[in-house]
Amino acid sequence: MLLVTGGAGFIGSNFVLDWLAATGEAVVNLDKLTYAGNPGNLASLADDPRHIFVHGDIGDAARVTALLREYRPRAIVNLAAESHVDRSIHGPAAFIETNIVGTFTLLDTVRAWWSALPAGEQQAFRFLHVSTDEVYGSLAPEAAGFAETTPYAPNSPYSASKAASDHLVRAYHHTYGLPTLTTNCSNNYGPLQFPEKLIPLMIVNTLAGKPLPVYGDGLNVRDWLYVGDHCEAIRTVLAGGVPGATYNIGGNAEMTNIDVVRAVCAAVGQCRPGPDYAAQITYVKDRPGHDRRYAIDSTKIRDELGWSPRETFATGIERTVRWYVDHPQWLADVTSGEYRQWVARHYAT
């Protein structure tokens, strides 16, 4: 039995689906169901006894304790987080509450339960914390990618809150012996992603004939990781990672934002031939504290655990665009009035 937190979000729901398909091992899925948590992502599991969904908060110690006692999971994969930089700029309090206070409460609750387990179960248990490359700050154009030893230098409330949670996880291993693992991944994309993030937003707007808002000069660089590859990497770290260690997970796909948007336009054109979708590109005011470049060095996970991404950006973006084109009802359900107001506020020209 695995306990997954945040399993109705983008990466979380993909991970739950991937986990059940790859291993068949049952999952208890604890999710608070904020705006980005979508039970519809898990509709295919409605009658699957291997998936137990629990509506709840990682900050609710009593609820977490009850789940631990009832299901006795052999591992926890912590994906519960507020995760969007723009939202953290306009409303940082929720990020502090979930990413720092929530992670602390989860860790302390798990520690108390874990410390009472028999020695063999204690040694076999794992707490895997999923984090981001944004904790490392911004890279110069010629600099090497982020390694696990790169000093933390977060530049947004989001990345600062994730950095704090990473430090808490590290401290609970070194102070209490809790067998933790931390992964820091690059920008994910793929099916089921809420369309506030760059790639799904561009797909949605391209299909709707709306402007494609690009921050600043569009030359900010990110490394792009297909979500299916990320899920496989998490499974790999959970199976073979060294307790207390950190593993960086990247997609080997550095691209400028403007090139990503152009790639989306081309992929949509392949699925749905029509006008010159790139003509919809519109440059908007840059966001505050916009890091110029991220890049991941995945040498450690490749050499120690044998993982490397299967998808190139070309194959991943083709699969992603095809999924959104083929699921118009999912898009209609998530792009509510609240979502449209959010886009108007954050991408004003």
Report the catalytic residues: 133-134, 158
Residue 290 CB-half CA count within 13 A: 16
Beta bridge partners of 255: 222
Beta bridge partners of 183: 130, 247
Token representation of residue 48? 């699957």
Task: Sheet containing 187-189: give its strands across.
Answer: 187-189, 221-226, 254-256
Cα distance between residue 61 and residue 239, in whole Å = 27
First to last CA, the chain: 49
Residue 114 CB-half CA count within 13 A: 23
At a CB cut-off of 8 Å and minimum separation 6, what does 160 contact? Answer: 154
Check: CB of residue 241 under 8 Å from CB of residue 301.
no
Token look-up 């359900």 returns 333
Cα distance between residue 14 and residue 176, in whole Å = 31
CA distances to 10, 201, 267 from 197, rounded to whole Å, are 11, 6, 17
| Count of residues making up the chain | 349
Token look-up 């960086």 returns 248
Check: CB of residue 277 under 8 Å from CB of residue 325.
no
CA distances to 19, 25, 55, 133, 210 from 127, rounded to whole Å, are 16, 17, 20, 19, 43
Name the amino acid, one letter, at 37: G
